[in-house]
A and B are shown apart, each in its own frame.
Chain A
Amino acid sequence: MAKIKKFFRYENVGMLFVLPAFLYMLAFVGYPIIHNIILSFQDVSAGNLVKGTRNFVLFDNYLELFGDSVFTTSLWNTLRFTVSCLVFQFIVGFALALFFSKRFSFAKPVRGILLVPWMIPITVTALMFKLLFATDIGIINFLLRSLHLIDKNIEWLTTPGTAMFALICANVWIGIPFNMILISTGLTTIPKELYESASIDGAGKVQTFWRITLPLLKPTIESVLILGFIYTFKVYDLVYVMTSGGPVNATHMLSTYSYKLSFEMFKYSKGSAVANVLLVILLFVGVFYIRATTEGEKE
């Protein structure tokens, strides 16, 4: 008893404060992760999920994935979806951040309101974009028809290529505010004097952007892109609500395919294996993020 008391004197008291949250996360996140890894090495279906004996099949579930064309499509889809979203939301977000850094009357209030898309439940966003991209009543088809770019309505969500395009549009819409606000904050950290001395030295606007703004924003840009990658790569709700992976698996992502395997086909172990592949890729990218954030901390 005395030993325990001695241990929690001074700095170690801190542990007592952290303990409840840590135990909670251990029970509801830590344990499930381990359990999910174990599941992926077993053969679990609806029959032996909660009760019953489970056999270990080692790497069978993972090996099966390599021959599964839906898995490879999902992996490829997740990658191209993530990269496309990152490129567009970053460029638009950056442009908006630069624009709103100018001090005009509406700058602050409008920039504030533009954050709303980021806050809206993704299910609702998915529904709104389904409406915009609807075949017969969709406003996007109407606009294209009015501009005489098409003469027949496009079936956006039931054609593989265009379905992916619609998903990317919706996700970019969510991502723009996030990129904009982080880059806006990054811009405010650049000392004004630098711009002043650059203009005294006769640097043009383009030159100032490439020589001052961009290099000084490097840490912000890094974290925006890494965080964006992590958030986008694990996309789930949006795809599940908008296309459910269809038409014919054409827009499945790793997350939606994992869900389909587990909760629609009841191949829990194979679903877990897909989820673990997703996890490994995220952790790999996450290492860069952790490195970037802990570098800044210097403790």
Chain B
Amino acid sequence: MDEEKRLSRKKNILFSVIAVALFCVLLFPLYWALITSLKTEQEIFQNPPTFYPHILNTKSYAAQVETGDFNMFRSFANSFLISTGATLIAVLLAVPASYGIAKYRFKARKVLLLSFLVTQMLPVSVLLTPMFIMFKNMHVYNTWVAAVLADATIGIPFSVLILKNYFASIPKDLEEAAYLDGCNKFTAFVRILIPIAKPGVMVCAIFSFLYAWGDLAYGMTFILDQEKRPITAGIFNFMGQYGTKWSYLTAFAVVTIIPVALIFIFMQKYIVSGMTSGAVKG
């Protein structure tokens, strides 16, 4: 009966070994990209392949700083600017919206909720051409603004749907106590509710950032000049031009993963809660 709770020593070891094996197999692609970025081109083409770099080669990283031809650190900075902008818009708009939906029962509520749910399912293909025309007319085409505006449309619906659950779980009493203390609806929202929903706000910020960071379609379509493009579009361009320079390509990939890895290391609990609550509930 206790089997579910405590495993015998033997089983514990066996399961842990299997877990480590699974870990190695499933994360192998990442390891392989990392070590390829640290090999010399010659070693990459060696047969049989080496499973760790025999000659450590950091040139593929250093070359990116020295030659201005394909500066991955500039595309990194572009991506950072675009993702931060999109995250700010998404959070600033989604926080009040989700509060409104969670705490008030007005007529259009269900329709609004539904429309946020539907926008989450939209394929980018539907939006690309009309947005392209719109951004041309707004004179923001080929600037980072276009990518920010487009990327925020991914973060907003996700954030609204996640945060509404957080606000809904805050008891009404807390709000009423704030009114007694002289707060009005807006000050109660800012001073009492937002601080309580902070973990939810973090989840929204992280996911909005990750969505924007991973975007390729918008950045590639709405920004023409390579030096203004996000890092994902940079990689894609680079692949087209230096298709077999794997050490450079994988170095590019590793640099792109760095922010994702940092977010994972320091904010793992938010990731799990975002993936589960957000995804199941919409």
Interface residues of A (CB under 8 A from B): 11-18, 20-22, 24-25, 28-33, 35-36, 39, 49-50, 96, 99-100, 102-107, 110, 112-125, 127-132, 134, 136-137, 139, 142, 146, 173, 176-178, 181-182, 185, 192, 195-196, 199, 220, 223, 227, 230, 233-234, 236-237, 240-241, 254-255, 258-259, 262-263, 268, 271-272, 274-276, 278-279, 282-283, 286, 289-290, 293, 296
Contacts and interface: CB of A to CB of B under 8 A. Distances in A.
Contacts, number: 310
B49 A220 contact: no
B242 to A, nearest CB: 12
B128 A121 contact: no
B170 interface: no
Contacts of B44: 137
Nearest to B117: A290
Contact of A199 (B1, B48, B124, B252): B1
Given A20-B97, A29-B153, A32-B127, A104 B19 contact: yes
The list of the 7 closest CB pairs from A to B, nearest first, reads A14-B104, A17-B100, A32-B130, A21-B97, A121-B214, A234-B123, A35-B130
Interface stretch (B25-33, B56-64, B172-180): B25-33
A103 B6 contact: yes
A105 B16 contact: yes
Contacts of B261: 116
A15 B216 contact: no
Nearest to A184: B276
B23 A113 contact: yes
B7 interface: yes
A236 B276 CA distance: 23
Contact of A15 (B100, B118, B235, B260): B100
Interface in B225-277: 232, 235-236, 239, 246, 249-250, 252-253, 256-257, 260-261, 263-264, 268, 271-272, 275-276
A76 to B, nearest CB: 17
A110 B126 contact: no
B221 interface: yes
Interface string B76-117: 000000000000010001101101110111111100101111
Contacts of B30: 116-117, 120, 128
Contact of A240 (B15, B101, B216): B216
Contacts of A230: 121
Given A25-B153, A254-B125, A282-B123, 17 more contacts: A14-B106, A21-B160, A24-B152, A123-B214, A124-B33, A127-B250, A127-B252, A132-B29, A177-B275, A181-B272, A234-B125, A236-B216, A240-B217, A262-B129, A271-B129, A276-B126, A279-B122
Interface of B: 1, 4-7, 11-12, 15-16, 18-20, 22-23, 26-27, 29-30, 32-33, 36, 44-45, 47-49, 89, 93-94, 96-97, 99-101, 103-109, 112, 114-119, 121-134, 136-137, 149-150, 152-153, 156-157, 160, 185, 189, 210, 213-214, 216-217, 221, 232, 235-236, 239, 246, 249-250, 252-253, 256-257, 260-261, 263-264, 268, 271-272, 275-276, 279-282
Contact of A50 (B47, B137, B264): B137
A163 to B, nearest CB: 16
B32 A128 contact: yes
Contacts of B104: 11-15, 17
A136 B101 contact: no
B239 A127 contact: yes
B125 A122 contact: no
A296 B117 CA distance: 14
28 contacts: A14-B106, A18-B100, A18-B101, A21-B156, A25-B115, A28-B134, A28-B149, A104-B15, A105-B12, A121-B232, A121-B257, A123-B214, A128-B33, A128-B253, A131-B36, A142-B47, A181-B276, A234-B123, A236-B216, A240-B217, A241-B236, A271-B129, A275-B125, A282-B121, A282-B122, A286-B117, A286-B118, A290-B117
Most buried by A among B133, B221, B261: B133
B250 A131 contact: yes
B97 to A, nearest CB: 4
Most buried by A among B104, B114, B125, B216: B125
A261 to B, nearest CB: 10
B216 A173 contact: no
A185 B276 contact: yes
A294 B36 CA distance: 47
Contacts of A296: 281
A25 B236 contact: no
A291 to B, nearest CB: 11
A230 to B, nearest CB: 5
A275 B130 CA distance: 12
